[in-house]
Amino acid sequence: MSKNVLITGGAGFIGSHLVKLFVRKYPDYKIYNLDALTYAGNLESLKEIEQSKNYEFVHGDILDLPFLENLLVEKNITHIIHLAAESHVDRSISDPLIFIKTNVLGTASLLQAARKFWKNQKDHLFYHVSTDEVYGSLGEEGYFYENTPYDPRSPYSASKASSDHFVRAFHHTYGLPVVLSNCSNNYGPYQFPEKLIPLFINNILEMKPLPVYGKGINIRDWMYVKDHAVAIDVIFHGGKIGDTYNIGGHNEWKNIDLIKLLCQQMDQKLNRPKGTSEKLITYVTDRAGHDMRYAIDASKIKNELNWVPSLQFEEGLSETIDWYLANKEWLANVTSGEYQNYYDQQYLKR
């Protein structure tokens, strides 16, 4: 069946991979990419498909309800995959309100527009892309399951938890056909260099300090972004309405171990003497409320939808570094001007 799919946040990191996957794989679908182009959105990430017949970019804000209502009617949107968000934990600590606006009110506005327009619930879907951070922080043992109670601890995760609750509330109250997924830390090409891996790649290139928060002992479960996009595709087409799927790769890394691996790979690729990048490691004040460990149990998506990640981490990290080294212009463009000032100020505060 042909579908008119609205992907929000398609100029961001994960969204741009998802848009490219859908535009190429589903020529019968019309893909609309709605994005406000905040500091994190970049149309350069979509150059490869921007001329495709089944693709259209729409510049707009998910907080603008009348605009959303018109858009859904005008384009006859049948399906929504919602990724647009403020996504960086450190920014949520310095400026929580924009996270509440975009992530909570923005999601609620989109839900409200879909509810109004989708009179017949059949053949529609509202897919909410969420995070494992809603489950809180783990100790040394255990995993996040789909039924793990919510325990968000940063303004970012609290806003994502709230948006998840609204999505489920619209399903239970109004019968809106929804599905949700909660994924672990993504990495890969086109990630804005404020997140750990691209920030450190950029700093190593420029021989700048690598700010490791606290003792570097926090653990994250890393997922290659293209594997995440495939998982979203699989859930979009096969997920059960009303259900939630955890996405993760059983790929836990202590920050400092990951950083040392990154430093070694960078030295090799840049033909710098062994140990050059590690010398840039600088331990700084810990992130406030820093969650200790995230780890996803992804058995449900494996058993029900036959999805498993495709890439080993060392390979994915190497590909990621290669991409950044081959795309220094992209990196320079997105880090120029306002962002660089913002980053330098945040670094000085630590």
Which residues are designated catalytic? 132-133, 156
CA 237 to CA 61: how far, in whole Å? Answer: 27
Strands (E), 258-333: 281-284
Q: Which residue is nearest to ligand NAD (CB)?
A: 12
Cβ proximity to ligand DAU, 176 vs 223, nearer residue? 223
Q: Which of 6, 46, 62, 111 binds ligand NAD (CB under 6 A)?
A: 62
- 11: contact with ligand NAD by CB under 6 A: yes
Instruction: Give the contact letters, 216-255, x = binds to ligand DAU (CB under 6 A), - = no.
Output: --x-x----------------------------------x
CA–CA distance, 3 with 6 (Å, rounded to integer):
10
For residue 14, what are the contacts with CB-CB under 8 A and spacing of at least 6? 83, 129, 186, 225, 228, 229
Give the β-pairing of 55-59 and 30-35: parallel
Closest CA to 33 of 60, 7, 63: 7
152 lies in the site for ligand NAD, by CB under 6 A: no
Q: Does 189 bind ligand NAD (CB under 6 A)?
A: no
φ, ψ for residue 112 (rounded to 5)?
-65, -40
Out of 54, 185, 244, 251, name the contact with ligand NAD by CB under 6 A: 185
Task: Pick the closer one to ligand DAU by CB: 77 or 212.
Answer: 212
Question: Residue 190 contacts by C-beta under 8 Å, 6 or more apart in sequence?
Answer: 13, 16, 17, 42, 45, 225, 323, 330
- Residues in region 189-218 near ligand DAU by CB under 6 A: 195-196, 199, 211-213, 218
Instruction: Determine if 309 is a binding residue for ligand NAD (CB under 6 A).
Output: no
Q: How far is the CB of 196 from ligand NAD (least distance, A)?
A: 10
- State yes or no: residue 320 binds ligand DAU (CB under 6 A): no
Spatial distance between the Cα atoms of 327 and 45, rounded to a whole number of angstroms: 11
Single residue of 77, 89, 158, 295 touching ligand DAU by CB under 6 A: 89
Q: Which of 88, 101, 153, 250 binds ligand DAU (CB under 6 A)?
A: 88
CA–CA dist 329, 344 (Å, integer): 20
Non-local CB neighbours of 130 within 8 Å, separated by 6+ positions: 160, 163, 164, 180, 181, 182, 183
> For residue 320, is it left (φ>0), alpha (ψ between -120 and 50) or beta?
alpha
Q: Residue 62 binds which entry of ligand DAU, ligand NAD, none, with Cβ cut-offs from 5 to 8 Å by kind?
A: ligand NAD
Q: Which amino acid makes up residue 38?
A: T
Q: Closer CB to ligand DAU, residue 78 or residue 181?
A: 181
Among 54, 92, 102, 184, binds ligand DAU (CB under 6 A): 184
Q: Which of 78, 87, 157, 265 binds ligand NAD (CB under 6 A)?
A: 87
Give the ranges where 33-180 is alpha helix by DSSP (H). 65-74, 89-94, 96-99, 107-117, 155-174
Contact assessment for residue 231 and residue 183, using Cβ atoms and an 8 Å cutoff: yes
In the list 6, 9, 99, 177, the residue contacting ligand NAD (rule: CB under 6 A) is: 9
First to last CA, the chain: 53
Q: Which of residues 218-247 bind ligand NAD (CB under 6 A)?
A: none
Return the exposure string of 161-174: e unless at least 16 CB atoms fall within 10 Å of the residue's CB, then b: bbbbebbbebbeee
Q: Is 183 in the site for ligand NAD (CB under 6 A)?
A: yes
Q: Which is nearer to ligand NAD, 121 or 346 (CB)?
A: 346
Residues forming the site for ligand NAD (CB under 6 A): 8-9, 11-15, 35-38, 40-41, 61-63, 83-85, 87, 102, 106, 129-131, 160, 183, 185-186, 192
Residues forming the site for ligand DAU (CB under 6 A): 87-89, 131-133, 184-185, 195-196, 199, 211-213, 218, 220, 255, 287, 294
